[in-house]
């Protein structure tokens, strides 16, 4: 699918029978590529000094929809998810890390977290009932559903990422967790309108102007990022973005000076911060 002229920017799909996968997203998620907005040099923004409320006005109710707003089930930015604004500062938690170049955030707001806990309890109660199972419910690519998460056996909000061969399993993306997994059709349930009122909480992100150079992001970088952000709220400076939000993360807890997590990764040899146009061209 061509999205622009001169040069032609394309989306590539794997439509092998039983699949419908956007390869652009797969390359980003697997660490083989970066989101399009990092390829061009961008000015270094001055971080705002006054944090803003991460929640803003109360979220409007979202109408129930069975599609993602696009023709494919993107696992990255979604209009129904919590939105960040370029140039603003948020308190966030890192909830899932694919690798250093692709991770998911969630706003560290007590009221919002409580709403999510209550919603998840409601979803699990409804979906655990034997009457909720519908053998004819086979959601298509991009369709919303509730799916049983293998880590704890509870049901969460999800979106179908792609279908598996054999018509018995499907790959889902958990919109509040940032994770994907293969589940059986017997483990998915329809999503009701009451379950869509709260915006999706997982926020796709990557580090602003941090490049990995050649090869894939190292596994030790993932472990270090987890160690630096585990079980704590960190300050997030948003620089906008297209497929993912480009962010800087800082740990302000018990520090005479904030720990720049991006700089800590670079110091450990995990990636390199782009500071000039020449750096961007070399990357």
Q: Which residue has the higher pLDDT, 4 or 258?
A: 258
The answer to whether residue 95 scores a pLDDT higher than 70 is: yes
Give the contacts of 71 (CB within 8 A, at least 6 positions apart). 1, 142
Beta strands in 54-110 (DSSP E): 89-99, 102-107
Per residue in 166-211, pLDDT tens? 778 999 999 999 999 999 999 999 999 999 999 999 999 999 999 9
DSSP element (H, E) containing 148: strand 144-148
Count Cα atoms within 13 angstroms, Cβ side, for 192.
9
Mean predicted lDDT score pLDDT of the chain: 79
In the predicted structure, residue 58 carries a pLDDT above the cut 70: no
Give whole-number Cα distances, 193 to 78, 98, 144, 145, 238, in Å.
Answer: 18, 30, 11, 11, 31
φ, ψ at 222 (rounded to 5°): -65, -45
* pLDDT (average), residues 253-263: 86
* % of the chain at pLDDT higher than 70: 70
| Separation of alpha carbons 166 and 66, rounded Å | 23
What pTM value is reported for the model? 0.73
Give the single-character DSSP code of 112: H
Q: Count other C-beta atoms under 10 Å from residue 7's C-beta.
A: 6
**pLDDT at 80 (0 to 100):** 85
Nearest Cα to 146, choosing from 126, 165, 166, 162?
126
Separation of CA 172 from chain center: 13
Mean of the pLDDT values across residues 23-46?
48
Distance between CA atoms of 244 and 78, rounded to whole angstroms?
10
Distance CA(277)–CA(29), nearest Å, equals 26
Per-residue pLDDT at 205: 96
pLDDT tens sequence across 114-145: 999 999 999 999 999 999 999 999 999 999 99
Say if residue 34's pLDDT is above 90: no
Answer for the pair 31, 99: CB distance below 8 angstroms, yes or no. yes
């Amino acid at each position: 699918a061509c999205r622009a002229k001169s040069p032609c920017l394309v989306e590539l799909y794997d439509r092998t029978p039983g699949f419908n996968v956007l390869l652009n997203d797969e390359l980003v998620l697997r660490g083989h590529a970066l989101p399009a907005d990092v390829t061009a040099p961008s000015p270094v923004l001055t971080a705002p000094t006054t944090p803003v409320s991460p929640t803003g006005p109360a979220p409007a109710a979202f109408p129930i929809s069975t599609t993602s707003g696009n023709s494919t089930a993107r696992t990255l930015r979604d209009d129904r998810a919590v939105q960040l604004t370029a140039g603003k500062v948020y308190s966030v938690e890192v909830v899932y890390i694919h690798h250093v170049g692709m991770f998911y955030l969630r706003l560290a707001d007590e009221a919002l977290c409580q709403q999510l806990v209550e919603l998840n309890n409601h979803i699990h109660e409804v979906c655990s009932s034997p009457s909720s199972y519908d053998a004819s419910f086979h959601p298509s690519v991009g369709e919303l559903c509730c799916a049983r998460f293998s880590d704890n056996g509870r049901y969460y909000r999800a979106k179908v990422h792609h279908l598996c061969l054999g018509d018995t399993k499907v790959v889902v993306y958990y919109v509040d967790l940032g994770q994907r997994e293969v589940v059986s059709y017997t483990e998915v349930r329809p999503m009701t309108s009451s379950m869509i009122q709260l915006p999706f909480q997982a926020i796709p992100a990557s580090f602003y102007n941090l490049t990995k150079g050649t090869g894939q992001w190292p596994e030790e970088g993932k472990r270090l990022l987890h160690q630096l952000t585990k079980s704590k709220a960190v300050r997030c400076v948003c620089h906008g973005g297209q497929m993912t939000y480009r962010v800087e993360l800082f740990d302000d807890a018990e520090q005479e000076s904030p720990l720049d997590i991006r700089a800590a990764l670079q110091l450990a040899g995990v990636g390199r911060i782009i500071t000039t146009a020449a750096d961007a061209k070399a990357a």
